[in-house]
Amino acid sequence: MLRVGYPAALVPEVLRELPEGIELIPVSDKMDHDAEIDVWITDPYPTRAQRTWPHLRGVRLVLSMMAGTEWIPGTVGPHVTICSAHGAHNVTTAEWTLAAILTLLKQFPLFLDIQRSANWRRRNEASIAYAAISGDKRTHHPPVMLEDLTGKTVLIVGHGAIGKEIERMLAPFYVDVLRVARRARKSPEAHPVSALESLLPQADVVVLILPFTQETRWLIDRPQLALLRQGALLVNAARGPIVNTDALVEALQAGRIRAALDVTDPEPLPEDHPLWRCPNLLITPHIGASSPHFARNALRVAGAELRRYMNGEPLHNVVQAAI
């Protein structure tokens, strides 16, 4: 019988997503013994999973509960097959992205601060903030306090499953979408990564939703940030090291751009890091995929992979094949 190790903290009802005919073995970083398993469903928290790994024996297949798997190969080595949870968190991450874009364009952080101060007249600060970040110094009557998403140009860097879901959710806003994918394609049109610098000046909003690899490290650095329009919004729902944090801090402090980050580099972000205090910035602590349905969605994908594995069928979400 196939022995499947799973995070001990999972509630029992989500395990129903896994196929029958397997032996389920709870594992955790608190174990005081070793466990012999064939398949490991990893804890969604990498540091906890990395502490669990030394207690596991016999693992041939790793099933991640996350779409990102960058920490796993270095932990388990090359002799284990690794599958991502591709598709499990598309909707949740796309909803976070859309919410982050609207939050910054509608200046909700400022209005929340105004609410807490109980001072209605402070709403004029929104007009001042709009003029500063947009560079639009014209006199508007009534004053401009919010921006429209409708009609803007959105560049999606990483047009995979989540990128496509983000585009679907953006459709009602009639935005112009530019796409960057690993490979150029015609339908829908997607540009290669080599075209990124020619596309950045065209975008009002840039969404990063691509895997972190050595090739994508600091994909957004000082030269790329300098290409952005005054007041452009950079949204990172991918991984922190895709953006050079020092360069981002400089651009934010200069009042050139806005940013919404669910990920940072370093992560967790230290309390004394200057990024916390940058203007025109929204930070959430890597919770973009969070949902009451997170575990069930992840185990549904893992369960499908397990069924294929048990039937000798090709796995769908392989990011590393064992050598």
Please write the tens of the pLDDT for every residue from 185-198.
Answer: 888 999 999 999 99
Q: What is the mean pLDDT of residues 297-301?
A: 98
Q: What are phi and psi of 39, to 5 degrees?
A: -125, 135
Give me the active site residues, please: 239, 267, 286
Q: What is the mean pLDDT of the chain?
A: 97
pLDDT reported for residue 83? 98
302/192 same-domain check: no
300/211 same-domain check: no
In a domain, 200, yes or no: yes
Q: Give pLDDT tens digits for 131-148.
A: 999 999 999 999 999 999
Residue 260, beta-bridge partner list:
235, 282
Whole-prediction pTM = 0.94
159/253 same-domain check: yes
244/307 same-domain check: no
pLDDT reported for residue 302? 98
163: Cβ contacts below 8 Å, ≥ 6 apart: 156, 179, 181, 207, 209, 210
Q: What is the mean pLDDT of residues 58-80?
A: 96
CA distance 57 to 270: 35
Work out the angle at residue 174's Cα, subtended by the Cα atoms of residues 168 and 180, and round it to the nearest 5 degrees.
Answer: 55
How many C-beta atoms lie closer than 10 Å to residue 289's C-beta?
25
CA distance 180 to 196: 7
Work out the angle at residue 29's Cα, subtended by the Cα atoms of residues 28 and 35, and round it to the nearest 5 degrees.
Answer: 55
In a domain, 117, yes or no: no
Q: Are strands 318-320 and 81-83 parallel, antiparallel or unpaired?
A: antiparallel
How many C-beta atoms lie closer than 10 Å to residue 222's C-beta?
14
Work out the angle at residue 137's Cα, subtended by the Cα atoms of residues 135 and 142, and round it to the nearest 5 degrees.
Answer: 120
Q: Is pLDDT at 299 greater than 90 in this prediction?
A: yes
Residue 203 DSSP symbol: -
In a domain, 124, yes or no: no
Q: Are strands 61-63 and 56-57 parallel, antiparallel or unpaired?
A: unpaired
60/201 same-domain check: no
Q: Which domain holds residue 249?
A: 90-106+147-283
Our count of domains for the chain comes to: 2
In a domain, 304, yes or no: yes
Three-state secondary-structure class, residue 258? strand
205/58 same-domain check: no
174/253 same-domain check: yes
175/40 same-domain check: no
Q: Is pLDDT at 183 greater than 90 in this prediction?
A: no
In a domain, 118, yes or no: no
CA distance 272 to 308: 47
229/316 same-domain check: no
Q: Is 247 exposed, middle or buried (0-12, 13-18, 19+ CB in 10 A)?
A: middle
In a domain, 201, yes or no: yes
Q: What are phi and psi of 261, to 5 degrees?
A: -125, 125
CA distance 226 to 301: 40
In a domain, 257, yes or no: yes
In a domain, 17, yes or no: yes
pLDDT reported for residue 313? 98
Q: Is pLDDT at 203 greater than 90 in this prediction?
A: yes
pLDDT reported for residue 186? 87
251/102 same-domain check: yes
What number of CA atoms fall less than 13 Å from residue 219's CA on the CB side?
27
CA distance 289 to 48: 18
61/173 same-domain check: no
71/153 same-domain check: no
pLDDT reported for residue 196? 97
CATH number at residue 181: 3.40.50.720
- Percent of the chain with pLDDT strictly greater than 70: 100
Residue 155 Ramachandran class (φ > 0 left, ψ -120 to 50 alpha, else beta): beta
CA distance 273 to 18: 42
